[in-house]
Amino acid sequence: MLGPVLLAASRSDRMRRIVAAAPVTRPVVDRFVAGDGLAPAMNSVRALTASGLTVTLDHLGEDVTDRATATATRDAYLRLLEALMLEGLGPKAEVSVKLSAFGQALPGSGHEIALENVRRVAELATEIGTTVTLDMEDHTTVDSTLAVLAELRERHPGTGAVLQSYLFRTEEDARALAAAGSRVRLVKGAYKEPASVAHQEKREVDRAYVRCLKILMAGDGYPMVGSHDPRLIAIAQELAARHDRKQGSYEYQMLFGIRTAEQRRLAATGERVRIYIPYGADWYGYFMRRLAERPANLTFFLRSFLPN
Ligand code: FDA
């Protein structure tokens, strides 16, 4: 049961220091993260979009505890959007944001600060013809994130959000968001959640995913199937056919570096496939969640500590 231990470690500052200082960490991180800065991230954007894929970029960072860092995150996204605009990549590349990196958890007016910051990003995204998707973090943030979504959609109707099938509440949220113009990325969920709010068994999370996907595919919105799970991808294809959805009226999304052959295979069949590209120096939390998802990744990581 390494997953929960790794998820707990993903929020430990002590573990962060140990893992980040280990010289062998970097090559493993590079498998999941497209570099520390904008320049290497843009190289990945160019390569992936040239090969027929679309992308969404995440400037890594989360759980920000001061206003200056929240503003710096916003500015990093503005620079990213400017870079996309300069290369005319707007429609093929969008951005994913974590509201906790925009100040959502700041005491008192965190919700308003995050909204104000992300609004600037949404304005520039709209100007260059692209969109913002709000990532979903732990369950305590869902109400605030969905409220920000509703506010942003008034002026920027293309703004999307993520729903996590492991949360008991998600079927209801999916029903509320399965309306025309709404973009919803459905994922299983990557945080450590208590049994009072979330399914704990993988089988239950997968079943809930199918129930939510049925709601989204039957609705009038734009479902974004965020999973690498071959069974769920096959079910998504069946549901799309059942609801007479044409390719391009929904899309598949996968993470940078994971199941890359499947990403290309799906795109070659004419499906729209979007790759989530994380970049930036604050990779620790994201990296630990990827290790937690798959014990084999941890083995690979630990093996790199052994002498050759
Ligand atoms: P599952 O974990 O069952 O994996 C299926 C198969 O995919 C595995 O057998 C393996 O082959 C491969 N695989 C999956 N994860 C892997 C890994 N880390 N390393 C190597 N292979 C792996 N979560 C969240 O809580 N909030 C969010 O906003 C997002 N955003 C997001 C965006 C996108 C585009 C994706 C694809 C995922 C997210 N997630 C997320 C993460 C999501 O919740 C989930 O943890 C992962 O996608 C893993 O679940 P799968 O559906 O891939 O299935």
Tell whether ligand 1 has an atom less than 6 A from the beta carbon of residue 164. Answer: yes
Pocket test residue of 134, 136, 187, 209 for ligand 1, highest count of atoms within 8 A of CB: 187
Residue located nearest, by CA, to atom 47 of ligand 1:
227
Tell whether ligand 1 has an atom less than 6 A from the beta carbon of residue 287. Answer: no
Tell whether ligand 1 has an atom less than 6 A from the beta carbon of residue 286. Answer: no
Cα–Cα dist 147/170, whole Å: 15
What ipTM does this complex have? 0.98
Ligand 1 atom having least distance to the Cα of 228? 52
Pocket test residue of 94, 229, 290 for ligand 1, highest count of atoms within 8 A of CB: 229
Tell whether ligand 1 has an atom less than 6 A from the beta carbon of residue 188. Answer: yes
Query: In tens digits, what is the pLDDT along the chain, a chain of 308 residues?
Result: 678 888 888 888 888 888 888 776 788 889 999 999 999 999 999 999 999 999 999 999 999 999 999 999 999 999 999 999 999 998 899 999 999 999 999 999 999 999 999 999 999 999 999 999 999 999 999 999 999 999 999 999 999 999 999 999 999 999 999 999 999 999 999 999 999 999 999 999 999 999 999 999 999 999 999 999 999 999 999 999 999 999 999 999 999 999 999 999 999 999 999 999 999 999 999 999 998 888 778 776 776 666 54
Q: Is 192 exposed, middle or buried (0-12, 13-18, 19+ CB in 10 A)?
A: middle
Ligand 1 atom having least distance to the Cα of 292? 18
For residue 304, the model assigns a pLDDT of 61
Domains and CATH numbers, the chain: 34-282 (3.20.20.220)
For residue 28, the model assigns a pLDDT of 84
Tell whether ligand 1 has an atom less than 6 A from the beta carbon of residue 138. Answer: no
The radius of gyration of the chain's CA atoms, rounded to the nearest angstrom, is: 18
For residue 24, the model assigns a pLDDT of 66
183 is in an annotated binding site: no
Pocket test residue of 55, 227, 231, 299 for ligand 1, highest count of atoms within 8 A of CB: 227
Q: Is 143 a catalytic residue?
A: no
For residue 16, the model assigns a pLDDT of 85
Q: Is 135 a catalytic residue?
A: yes
For residue 299, the model assigns a pLDDT of 75
For residue 307, the model assigns a pLDDT of 55
For residue 5, the model assigns a pLDDT of 84
Cα of 3 from ligand 1 centre, angstroms: 13
Tell whether ligand 1 has an atom less than 6 A from the beta carbon of residue 135. Answer: yes
Six token digits for residue 200? 């704990």
Cα of 67 from ligand 1 centre, angstroms: 30
CA 84, chain centre distance (Å): 19
